[in-house]
Amino acid sequence: MRQIDHFIVGDSPASSNSSGRKHAIWNPSTGEVQAEVALGDAALLARAVETAKRVQPGWAATNPQRRARVMFAFKELVEANMQRLAEMLSSEHGKTVPDARGDVQRGLEVIEYACGLPQIMKGEYTHGAGPGIDVYSMRQPLGIGAGITPFNFPAMIPMWMFGMACAAGNAFILKPSERDPSVPVRLAELFLEAGAPEGLLQVVHGDKEMVDAIIEHPDIAAISFVGSSDIAQYIYARGSANNKRVQAFGGAKNHGIVLPDADLDQVVTDLTGAAFGSAGERCMALPVVVPVGEDTAEKLKEKLLKSIAGLRIGVSNDPDADYGPVVTPEHKARIEQWITTAEEEGAEIVVDGRGFTLQGHEKGFFVGPTLIDRVTPQMKSYQEEIFGPVLQIVRAHDFEEALRLPSEHQYGNGVAIFTRNGHAAREFAARVNVGMVGINVPIPVPVAYHSFGGWKRSGFGDIDQYGVEGLRFWTKNKKITQRWPDGSHDGSNAFVIPTMG
């Protein structure tokens, strides 16, 4: 049985698993346990923090350009190891290898942005703000940051976090998902190989016990989290109460609004990839489509049926597969239960993915593509995140009703509108109460030099991930007002408290 350990400076495998607890890692394609990962505790975290405290001041004092050179070297190493990283990721998560390569690549885009941090970290300067007075600012690292990342993007989201944090001069402790931890450990190894100081980026594995230890540790200044909304809210509340800076991103129920004038063939292509790609295990997936008008709904449904019929479900390393298995047997059962719930609520199961098996891999965690029509906002299956290869159709009578659906939903992560009408698209983008909007773009994840973040129960905290917002999160802004007296003894150059004249 393969054993996956923490990545902590100076710890042997025996000492780093002092808790004795382990978590099984599945091969989702075969349904077999392929490895075990050690689960840490507060004592292990404390050792990692002590190392980070020793390393971070020297790293922060390093010339920003030299820090950027480490990021450049890391980028090159990840690119050189891209295929192996994708295969490793795919074997534990279940997404196809090309999809896994995309996972790594989207993380690398933020690393590329972080290579330019010396430029965007520059402060502001005002000469002559007062008599002989200049004012300037500088951005300084927080000290030690922590990241708690989900199973569905084990390469991309860690790089979103530690790339920005470390480039800004912080040390970083990563707690990845215990479901697919191998790639985060390998990324930490490559970061060290790129020239980062030993102990700057460390990886600790664990469950709620480790999460609580991160929240409680007084020397961790900031926490970035991506996962479910309930846990996001918990981490945000507890972390803020402990005087930490926290950004916590939760679940989603992204809608795709289809106006009558949309190119339905293109919409169906986009929807099929956005709803069923990566088995729907994306916070930016598109699990709800809202056709406007009955005629639009019927035409769209007919085209979707043909597209879904052509989908190929396969093992993660099948080069012809459109998507692979879901991550665990528990998650498979949960998705199928949501389909049953929708059926019990009165929705129409048009295509049923329950009970799907793959010949030769009958024990794998496969869920067939599922299409559910006649879904209403009152249904629990609409209100909650399913996180699987399930597409729901909610029919709207007009534009205003379609606009209200995502705006009033508890989640506000992403939304898309499909139309040829520029005015309608502009109006929708301005009025919809959602954090990220796509116009004829089904998965509107902003590029690395913008920022990522949802609203409502999709995002807790005031600052988004990566881009300039990421720099703001991982640094504190110091403001300096300076004056150099000329040495006059008559007091003519003395500073006096200003008064209203």
Annotated catalytic residues are: 283
145 neighbors 221 (Cβ within 8 angstroms) = yes
Residues 145 and 190: their CA atoms lie apart, in Å, by 19
Burial of 495 (0-12, 13-18, 19+ CB in 10 A): exposed
Q: Tell me which H or E stretch contains 482.
A: strand 475-483
Q: For 136, what's the count of Cα atoms within 13 Å in the CB-facing half-sphere?
A: 9
Q: Which structure tokens are listed for 88?
A: 């490793």
Q: Can you tell me whether residue 158 is helix, strand or coil? A: helix
Residues 65 and 238: their CA atoms lie apart, in Å, by 36
Residues 242 and 146: their CA atoms lie apart, in Å, by 14
457 neighbors 434 (Cβ within 8 angstroms) = no
Q: Please name the residue that has the structure tokens 């290898």.
A: 97
Sign of CA dihedral 256, 260, 262, 266: positive
- Under 8 Å CB-to-CB from 367, ≥6 apart: which residues? 279, 325, 326, 332, 335, 336, 353, 354, 356, 388, 389, 390
Nearest 5°: the CA angle 115, 120, 121 is 100
Q: Which structure tokens are listed for 272?
A: 């099929």
331 neighbors 365 (Cβ within 8 angstroms) = yes
Q: Which structure tokens are listed for 298?
A: 């019927």
- Under 8 Å CB-to-CB from 159, ≥6 apart: which residues? 107, 108, 110, 111, 187
Residues 22 and 74: their CA atoms lie apart, in Å, by 30
Residues 217 and 215: their CA atoms lie apart, in Å, by 6
3-state secondary structure 438-452: EECCCCCCCCCCCCE
Q: Is 392 left (phi over 0), alpha (psi -120 to 50) or beta?
A: beta
